[in-house]
A and B are shown apart, each in its own frame.
Chain A
C-alpha cells in the first residue's frame, strides 16, 4: 500500500512539469463570435476556419459559431467586450474592430480586445459593367471626371470600406461619383451586372460569379502587387492578369482589408499563443490555401508585432479619410 502511494506520488510529480509545459488549453467549448450576418465575408472566414480546425482536429473542444452582425458588426464586438478575461470567446472581424468606433458612437474601443492574428488580406478592385466602353482604369476615371457627380459607384454599407475607398479615389484623382450604399456586396454586384450603377469596388469573391458570366469586368486592383495567378475566369483572363491600380496610372498605392481575429481584453498570454499557433496551422493547411485561391484574397498571416504595425498604419490611413469626409463622431 505504502509502496503504491509512493509510486503514485512519484508519477504525479513526474506529470506536473509536463502539464506546465502544455500551457493554456481550452477547458470548455469555444465560441467564435462573427461580426457579420450569416453569408457575409466575415461569416465565411470564421466558418472556414471552424471547418479546418474540426477536420484536422486542431482543438479538442467543440467550436460554436455565433453570428452577431447587428450595427455593422458592433453587436459582435460589444458581445466580445463583455467576455473580458474569457479566452473561450474568439472574435472574427475585419478592420472594423478599430475603425467602427470612429464613425459611430459605440460602447467599445480597440483597447477592449487582445489582437491575435490577421489571416488574409481581402482585395478591392474597380469593376465596371461587362458592356461598358472603358478599356482600362484610366479611361473610366477620365469619363468620371468629364461628367463630375453623375456616374454611380455602388458599395456595401455607408462609411465602410467601399465608401472609404471611393473617397480615396476621389481625393487622389479629382473625379466625383454618386456613392450608393447597398445592403451588401452581393447586391452591389447584381446592380452592376444589371447596369443600374456604373462601377463598384467589390472584393474579388463578391463579383467573381458575375465576372465569369461576363456581366462585369475588372479594371484594376488596389494591391501593391498583382494578384496570384489563377485559372482563366473570363475571356482568357485570370486574377493575375488584372493590372494593379498603380500600374494603371492611379496615384493610389494600396487598399486592403485584413481578416482579423481577436480575444477579449485581459486574457492570459498563453491563451493568445495557443490561438496564434492554431490559426497559423490553419493558414498552412491545404483547405485554407484552396479557400484563399478561390476567393482571390492574399494569404498573409500576421501576428504579434507585425500585426500591430499593420493595424497602426491602416488605422492612420483610414482616419485621415474619415476626418476629411467629416464622418468622425465626437
Chain B
C-alpha cells in the first residue's frame, strides 16, 4: 500500500503538461530512431543526453525513457514490414510478422505487435510498482552460476525450434559464438580473434549482423524473386486496427505467459532480446499447431513483442535499485543519472522518491502515450508497402548502410554489413537458420563470461551449478528443456514404429 501511495505521488509529478509534452516528443523521436536500423535506442539516448544537462532529473529521465519506449515500438515496425529488425530484441518478431505482412496482413501484424507490446510493458511496470523492494533483494542472490543457468535455459529452449535440422542450428550457433568472442576477453584480459586488425578490437556488433543478415539478405532474396514486395494489394483501413484489437483477448494465455517470461528475463539479466526469443520458442512449443509458426501466425508476433517490452520495462528495476544496467540503453541512462547528480543504488528509492516514483509513473503514461501514437502511425507505415520496390528497395539499402555506419561510426562496419548480407542470403538458400546465430552473438559472450567466472569461483568444479536451490532449479529447467525435444522425437518415432508393426501384423 505504501508503494501505491508513492505511485500516486509519482503521477502528480509526471502528469504535468510539460512532462506529457516531453513524453510525446520522446516517443516520436524514439519511433524515428527505432525505425532506422542500427541507430537504435542506445545511440538515440546518448545523442539526446547532452540536451538533458540543463533539465531537472525527473524531466530528463522522462524524456529519455520515452525515447526508449518509442524506439522499442519503432523497432518492431521495420521487422514486420521489411524483415529488418530495428532493434535486436525485435528479431523474433520478424519470424511471423514479416510473413503476415507478405500476405497482406501488415495492419493486423502491426496492431497486434503494438497492442501486445503495450500490455507487456504495463505488466513489467505493474511488477516494479508492486514488488520493487522484494525484487531488488531477490536479484542480489544472482551470481555468475545463476547467470549462466539463465542463459543456458534460453539456449535450451531454442534447440529443435527451427524447421531446419538440429545440425544446421548447431552450426549457426557455433558461428554466432565465434563472432561473439572477437575482441577483448573480460576474464583473461587477452585480445582474441582480431588477427591484428584494429577495427576488430571492439568486436563485431550484433547490430551490424542483424542489419546485414536480415536487411540486406532479405533484399537479395527479394531481388531474386522478381523485384517486388508481395502484399502490395492490401488495403489499409483504420477500422482494421480496431478489429485486431477486438481479437486480442483471444490470445490471453500467450499474453500472460509472455509477460511472465519477459518480466523474469528483465529482472535476471537475460534482457529483452533473450526474452523475446525464449517467449517465441515457448509459444511455438506449447501451441497446438506449431507448424503454423513462421508462416504468419499472430501468436508468433504477440509472444515476442509482449516479452520484449515486459523485459524492457522490468529491466529498469535492477538499474535503479542495484545500479546494474539491464540493457545497453539502461547503461547510457545510468551515465545520465550520474551527471544529473543521482547515485543509482539501493538507497535511490528512499533518497529520491520523487525521482523514482515520477519515473515509474511516467513509465505507465509513457507506454500508453506510445501505444496511441504508434497505432495512429500504423496506416501510414502499412502503406509504405504500396510503394514500388524500385523506389523502396534502394532506399532500404541506403538506410541499412547508414544504420551500419551509425552503430559505432566505423566505415569498416558498412563492409561488414554487406558481408553479413551475403552470408544471410547463403544461409537462406542452404536452409540454415539465422536466429540461433543472432542469439549466440547477443548472449554468447555473456554466457561464456558467466561460465568462466563460475569456474574461477569453484576452482574448476562443475558442482557449483547445483550448489544451492536457486541455481539447481534453474539448471534443472534448462536440462529438461534441452532433453525434451529429443525425447519427444524418440517417442514419436517409437509410436510410429509400433503402429507400423501393428498394421503389418
Most central of B196, B335, B338, B457 by chain A CB within 10 Å: B335
Query: Could you tell me if B42 and A38 are in contact, using CB atoms closer than 8 angstroms?
Result: yes
Nearest-neighbour CB distance to chain B for A177, whole angstroms, equals 11
Q: From residue A291, how far is it (CB to closest CB) to chain B in Å?
A: 8
Q: Is B184 an interface residue (CB 8 A)?
A: yes
When chains A and B are docked, how far (Å) is the Cα of A65 from the Cα of B45?
13
Whether B338 lies near A213 (C-beta < 8 A) is no
Chain B residue numbers with a CB within 8 Å of A251 are: none
B143-A196 in contact (CB<8A): yes
- In the complex, per-residue mask of B333-359: 1 if CB is within 8 Å of any chain A CB, else 0: 011001101011111100100000000
C-alpha gap A65/B49 in the complex (Å): 10
- The number of chain B residues with a CB under 8 A from chain A is 52
Which of B184, B202, B323 contacts A209, CB < 8 Å? B323
Which residues of B are found within 8 Å of A105, using beta-carbon distances? 191, 196
Is B30 part of the binding interface, using a Cβ–Cβ cutoff of 8 Å? no
A50 close to B (CB within 8 Å): yes
A 119-148 binary contact with B (CB < 8 Å = 1; else 0):
000000000000000000000000000000
Binds B, one of A70-78, A301-309, A311-319: A70-78
Q: Which of these, A38, A103, A190, contacts B322 with CB under 8 Å?
A: A190
B500 at the interface (CB under 8 A from A): no
Once A39-B335, A186-B325 are accepted as A-B contacts, the answer to whether A66 and B341 lie under 8 Å apart by CB is no
Residues on A with C-beta less than 8 A from B143 are 191, 194, 196
Task: Bin the interface of chain A by size.
Answer: 35 or more
Contact of B341 among A55, A71, A294 (CB under 8 A): A294
Q: Which residue of A lies closest to B137 (CB)?
A: A194
A-B contact count (CB 8 A): 149
Of the residues A39, A158, A178, A209, contact of B331 by C-beta under 8 Å: A39
- Min Cβ gap A216→B in Å is 10
A285 within 8 A of B: no
B53 at the binding interface (Cβ < 8 Å): yes
Instruction: Give B132-144 as 1s and 0s: 1 = Cβ < 8 Å from A's Cβ atoms.
Output: 0000000111111
CA distance A290 to B190 in the complex (A): 37
Query: Cβ of B339: which chain A residues have Cβ within 8 Å of it?
Result: 44, 47-48, 51
Name A75's contact: one of B46, B202, B325, B449 (CB within 8 Å): B202
B residues 165-195 near A (Cβ < 8 Å) are 183-191
The residues of B that contact A290 with a CB separation of less than 8 Å are: 341
Does B198 count as interface, using CB distance less than 8 angstroms? yes
User: Contacts A39-B331, A47-B49, A208-B343 known; A158 to B188 CB distance under 8 Å?
Assistant: yes
Q: Is A238 an interface residue (CB 8 A)?
A: no
B-side contacts of A178, CB under 8 Å: 456-457, 459
How many angstroms between the C-alpha atoms of A72 and B184 in the bound complex?
A: 7
CB-based contact B140/A190 at 8 Å: yes
Interface-centre pick from A47, A65, A159 (highest chain B CB count, 10 A): A47
Q: Note all chain A residues with C-beta closer than 8 A to B186.
A: 157-158, 181-183
Tell whether, in the assembled complex, residue B49 and residue A74 are in contact, meaning their CB atoms are under 8 Å apart. no
B198 partner, pick from A51, A78, A191, beta carbons under 8 A: A78
A70 with B203, Cβ < 8 A, contacts A44-B339, A159-B189, A191-B143 known: yes
Query: Among residues 206 to 221 in chain A, which have CB atoms less than 8 Å away from a CB atom of chain B?
Result: 208-210, 212-213, 215
B49 cross-chain contacts in A, Cβ below 8 A: 47
Bound Cα distance from A294 to B340, whole angstroms: 11
Task: With A213-B346, A290-B341 as known contacts, state yes or no: A70 contacts B54, CB within 8 Å.
Answer: no
Instruction: State A55–B334 Cα separation when bound (angstroms).
Output: 21
Q: How far is the CA of A187 from the CA of B187 in the complex (A)?
A: 14
B453 and A210 within 8 A (CB) = no
| Bound-state Cα–Cα, A106 to B197, Å | 10
The 0/1 profile, CB within 8 Å of B marked 1, for residues 30-52 of chain A is: 00000001111001100110110
In the bound complex, residues from chain A placing their C-beta under 8 Å from that of B141 are 194
A209 near B346: Cβ-Cβ < 8 Å: yes
Determine the chain A residues whose CB is within 8 A of the CB of B127 once the complex forms.
Answer: none
Interface residues of B in 286-338 (CB under 8 A from A): 322-325, 328, 331-332, 334-335, 338
CA distance A186 to B189 in the complex (A): 18
A50, A65, A70, A209: the one contacting B348 at CB < 8 Å is A209
Q: How far is the CA of A157 from the CA of B184 in the complex (A)?
A: 10
Q: Which of B202, B409, B456 has the most CB of A within 10 A?
A: B202
| Minimal Cβ-Cβ distance residue in B for A37 | B331
A212-B346 in contact given A51-B339, A70-B183, A107-B196 (Cβ < 8 Å): yes
Contact A209 B347 (CB under 8 A): yes
Contact B345 A212 (CB under 8 A): yes
Cβ–Cβ contact A55 & B53, under 8 A: yes
Chain A residue, CB-CB nearest to B330: A39
7 tightest CB-CB pairs across the interface, nearest first? Answer: A209-B345, A70-B202, A158-B189, A213-B346, A159-B189, A196-B143, A71-B201
Q: Tell me the B residues contacting A by CB distance below 8 Å.
A: 42, 46, 49-50, 53-54, 139-144, 183-191, 196, 198, 201-203, 322-325, 328, 331-332, 334-335, 338-339, 341, 343-348, 351, 408-409, 449, 453, 456-457, 459
Additional A-B contacts beyond A71-B184, A106-B201, A190-B140 (5; CB < 8 A): A38-B335, A74-B184, A75-B198, A181-B453, A181-B456
